[in-house]
Amino acid sequence: MKRIKPGWRNLVNNAHFSTPADPRAKHGRDLRGECPLRYPGCYAYEDAHLGTTNLRSLSDFKGRELIARILALMDQYKPLHLSIVGGDPLVRYRELDVLLPQLVKRAHIQGVTSAFSPIPLALAALPNLQLVVSVDGLQPQHDVRRKPATYERILRNIQGHHIAVHCTITSAMVKRSGYIPEFVAFWSANPAVEKIWMSIFTPQRGAANVECLNADERKSVVQTLLQLRHDETKLDMPEGMIKEFLSPPVSPDRCIFAQTTRTLSADFTTRVEPCQFGGDPDCSRCGCMASMGLAAVGNKKLVGSLTAGDIFWTSNAIGRYVHRGENRLRQLVKRTGA
């Protein structure tokens, strides 16, 4: 399956379209070269993020051109799932008014926002659309990190919707006893929230900043989430997914999510590699919820010792082999003038 992410800007959670070996995967892209937010832990503007260029140097689009380019990408990749992530998709609310009613007819759409501005109520009625609001902890911490997307604005702007709340767990949250349960309880009580997702901060290789969890803190988070999923029904995280945080995929080459997702940056051409985090992510400390979810699926036993992952990796290898053969045949045809 393929998945695409297009985004408004290159944040840690890049918007993308994703594409695996199968031509119907997911993909993504940044829609905006600048983000209205600045917060600790974001490395999207670092030179290493895109490898060959800095995000600020890329062109972005708006208006009719933006709409046309996204629809063209949908035609090209035919994804099953499209995630629109980045600085904030609501910055392009006029384009969204036109795009979303068309996109939901063609794929499952996920829009990730900080909810810093009003979310049109018409979106609540669209099928195949999941709005995800990024929240950085409890109000005292979030309001400092995410201005102008404060708790007061979020609570007002999500009224009448059915959203998912996503929080990336950092070391500071773990150091205060009861922080994560308090966060989950607060958002579970809000009628506009239908599910809660939690990831762990994923650093670049060699990073030692305050966002990073140590091994003991990671174990503590896993234990907390395993307990909370029984107490708080809106915490939408299966047991298998949570346990995968203790043994993340060893590299993007062995990560089903990375292999089934294409992430495109602000110009709809530059790829964010080797996965949605870009740069040189430390896979040993990966905290991507999507990665853990697909890893859990891959480790699911089907018959005897055969897992779903065995089938995926075999299929993936065959797909790559066939693709290489097709490319060689095209080159041969060009050389011979046939």
Q: How many H helices and E strands in the chain? A: 11, 11
Instruction: Give the tens place of pLDDT for each residue, 300-326.
Output: 999 999 999 999 999 988 888 787 777
Gyration radius from the chain CA atoms: 20
Residue scoring higher pLDDT (43 or 93)? 93
Q: Output the pLDDT for position 319.
A: 84
Residue 291 has pLDDT above 80, yes or no: yes
Q: What are phi and psi of 239, to 5 degrees?
A: -55, -45
Residue 10 has pLDDT above 50, yes or no: no
3-state DSSP assignment of residue 122: helix
Of 225, 104, 96, nearest in space to 169 by CA = 225
Annotate 78-113 with b (16+ C-beta within 10 A) or e (fewer). bbbbbbbbbbbbbbbeebbeebbeebbeebbbbbbb
- Percentage of residues of the chain with pLDDT beyond 70: 84
Residue 14 has pLDDT above 50, yes or no: no
Q: Output the pLDDT for position 45.
A: 67
Question: What global pTM score does this model have?
Answer: 0.85
Instruction: Give the tens place of pLDDT for each residue, 172-181.
Output: 999 999 999 9
Euclidean distance between CA atoms 261 and 224, whole angstroms: 29
pLDDT-derived band of residue 1, with 50, 70 and 90 as boundaries? very low
Cβ neighbourhood burial of 333 (10 Å; 0-12, 13-18, 19+): exposed
Instruction: Give the tens place of pLDDT for each residue, 38-74.
Output: 566 676 767 677 777 777 677 788 999 999 999 999 9
Euclidean distance between CA atoms 65 and 81, whole angstroms: 22
Q: What are phi and psi of 234, to 5 degrees?
A: -80, -10
Cα-based distances in Å from 102 to 50, 96, 129: 30, 10, 11
Euclidean distance between CA atoms 38 and 59, whole angstroms: 20
Identify the weakest region by mean pLDDT among 9-23, 104-118, 143-157, 272-286.
Answer: 9-23
Q: Following DSSP, what letter does each residue of 69-116 receive, concatenated? A: HHHHHHHHH--SEEEEBSS-GGGGHHHHHHHHHHHTTTSEEEEEE---
pLDDT-derived band of residue 103, with 50, 70 and 90 as boundaries? very high
6 in Cβ contact with 96 (< 8 Å): no
Identify the weakest region by mean pLDDT among 29-38, 268-277, 305-314.
Answer: 29-38
Of 204, 207, 217, 270, nearest in space to 27 by CA = 270
